[in-house]
Chains A and B, each alone.
Chain A
Amino acid sequence: MTFWLLLTVNSITFGSLLFLLAAGFSLIFGLMRIPNLTHGSLFMLGAYFGATFVGGMLGMMFNFWVAAVMAALLVAAFGAVIERLLLRRLPGQQMAQVLVTLGISFIVADFCLMVWGGDPVAVATPDTLVGSVRLGPMIFPIYRIAVIGIAVVVAIALWLLLDRTRLGAMIRAGVDDPDMARVVGIRVSRLFTIVFALGAGIAAFAGVIGGPILTVYPGLDQYMLPLALVVVILGGSGSLLGSVVGSLIIGVLYNFGQALLPELAYFVLFLPMVLVLLLRPQGLFGRFIP
């Protein structure tokens, strides 16, 4: 019983982390139709930045949350540069976008190897969240519970931004009909840079939040990227609800698969993706067929 409950909590924690990772990917892919293969790298870069700031490698120790926000802002700026200088020149050319973003992910991976080396780097758990809580017969690490809370807060914030603000409505107008949006005075090009930077920033934030659980190591990018892809394909790109549901499904399948059928863990993970692509290619909550 304890085993099942613990596995469930771990699944939800991992799903929460996946949501933080996939939300930005879904935003960029769903709204701008850019298959951003740097997304795993942005996650890893964020995690390394977080480790650096928290660990005092710059001669100064930063608070965990401050470090997370700083990493998010830095990577968001990097994302804005990628969008402005490279992706902007390849509108609608998905194959070229795939190759460019894949190329950047290799550059980022090598950059990280050069700066942080090949050994795993740990991100310290924030002091206030160290330890465990006891619930009946079970013991849960506080931090894992906190990750769930953070994902909920980010999900609500994103929903409010996209669904309840004028900026969000302008972004959606730009997706519905870019030319018409420009005709009514919306600066669509600037909005898309903001969306890309936002997606990149959330990925980096997720990297820092995931740091204490995953630790950071070379290859983390290529470990996370397929998971984000599976979540978005399953949930449907551009749909926040799709990201939430997709993340939870993948979180459960991944954890239960590894615990119960370790030899088939990846099969269990990708099977639903294949089924969704066959039966409902736009994903469970998606608006368009990629």
Chain B
Amino acid sequence: MATNALELSHIDAYYGDSHVLHDVSFSCGEARLLGLLGRNGAGKSTCMNVTIGLLAPRRGQVSIFGTPVAGLSPEQISAQGVALVPQGRRIFKSLTVRENLVVAAQKPRDGKHAPWTTETVFAMFPRLEERRNQIAAHLSGGEQQMLAIGRALMGNPRVLLMDEPSEGLAPQIVHEVMNTIRKLKESGLSIVLVEQNPTLVFDVADDIVILNTGRVAVVSTPAALQEGNVDLTQHLGVF
């Protein structure tokens, strides 16, 4: 069996004294898209923070293509080819659009994929090129989201983590963002997409993991879930 692009095994994580992830295990195969669903506070973002190194798990291991990374610093994990499009976008507000991209540039780890550069990111998001010398704080929400995605791609990652990229965006922009995600998946990138809205994810995901109060509740596929053999409302609430 091929190594998984990302694997979390038996992760226990805490914020101070509060135990937020309980024995969480799931994996994302190479060039696949894993949809990570769950209510607010289910532990989705915590999984992202653990994977990228912002929160060290107390127990368990995180592997990137078989390389263990739990406990490494974010910059070391980033060098392993992991990039994050964080919740709330968190672009560098006082930098220009171009600077936001340039500071995140890293060489690809292998020659297999065409490396992302400012040019290829601008080709994907022409609107960013029009605003290349603007201060990022002045961008619209949709443009900031594109910039956050572009910035993550500049690291030429093998694994892309996206934490609620549709949050707070107009439906038209959400549509664009989902198209972008589809294109990235077709390019062979392994993607973990965190969302609260299952219908968005069912469209693009190969596999689905649902978290409920810090535990893995469901591991399935969109097709199986849409057949209705799992009570989604129990885990996701009304949608």
**SS class, residues of chain A in contact with chain B:** helix
Question: Cβ of A181 < 8 Å from any Cβ of B?
Answer: yes
The answer to whether B86 touches A180, judged by C-beta atoms less than 8 angstroms apart, is: yes
**A150 smallest CB distance to B (angstroms):** 29
List chain B residues, Cβ under 8 A from A182.
53-54, 73-75, 78
**B15 smallest CB distance to A (angstroms):** 14
> Of A176, A183, A188, which is within 8 A of B95 by CB?
A176
List chain A residues, Cβ under 8 A from B92.
172-173, 176-177, 180-181
The answer to whether B102 touches A166, judged by C-beta atoms less than 8 angstroms apart, is: yes
Which residues 180-208 of A sit at the B interface, judged by CB distance below 8 A?
Answer: 180-188
> Of A173, A184, A287, which is within 8 A of B78 by CB?
A184
**A238 smallest CB distance to B (angstroms):** 10
Contact pattern, B 48-80, Cβ under 8 Å of A = 1, otherwise 0: 000011100000000000000000011100110
Minimum CB distance partner of A171 in chain B: B103
User: Size class of B's contact patch?
Assistant: 20 to 34
The answer to whether B52 touches A169, judged by C-beta atoms less than 8 angstroms apart, is: no
Question: Cβ of B165 < 8 Å from any Cβ of A?
Answer: no
The answer to whether B104 touches A184, judged by C-beta atoms less than 8 angstroms apart, is: yes
Minimum CB distance partner of B82 in chain A: A183
The answer to whether B54 touches A184, judged by C-beta atoms less than 8 angstroms apart, is: no
Question: Cβ of B90 < 8 Å from any Cβ of A?
Answer: yes
Most A-side CB within 10 Å, residue of B52, B92, B151: B92
Minimum CB distance partner of A287 in chain B: B94
The answer to whether B93 touches A176, judged by C-beta atoms less than 8 angstroms apart, is: yes
Which residues 138-165 of A sit at the B interface, judged by CB distance below 8 A?
Answer: none
Question: Cβ of B129 < 8 Å from any Cβ of A?
Answer: no
Question: Cβ of B83 < 8 Å from any Cβ of A?
Answer: yes
Question: Cβ of B84 < 8 Å from any Cβ of A?
Answer: yes
The answer to whether B94 touches A179, judged by C-beta atoms less than 8 angstroms apart, is: no
Question: Cβ of A268 < 8 Å from any Cβ of B?
Answer: no
Minimum CB distance partner of A166 in chain B: B102
- 8 more contacts with CB within 8 A, not counting A169-B102, A181-B103, A183-B83, are A173-B100, A175-B94, A176-B92, A180-B86, A182-B75, A183-B54, A183-B74, A185-B75
Query: Closest 5 interchain pairs by CB?
Result: A184-B104, A185-B78, A182-B74, A169-B99, A176-B92
A–B complex contacts, Cβ < 8 Å, 21 sampled = A166-B103, A169-B103, A172-B94, A173-B95, A173-B99, A173-B103, A176-B94, A179-B54, A180-B90, A181-B103, A182-B53, A182-B74, A183-B53, A183-B86, A184-B78, A184-B83, A184-B151, A185-B104, A186-B103, A186-B104, A188-B75
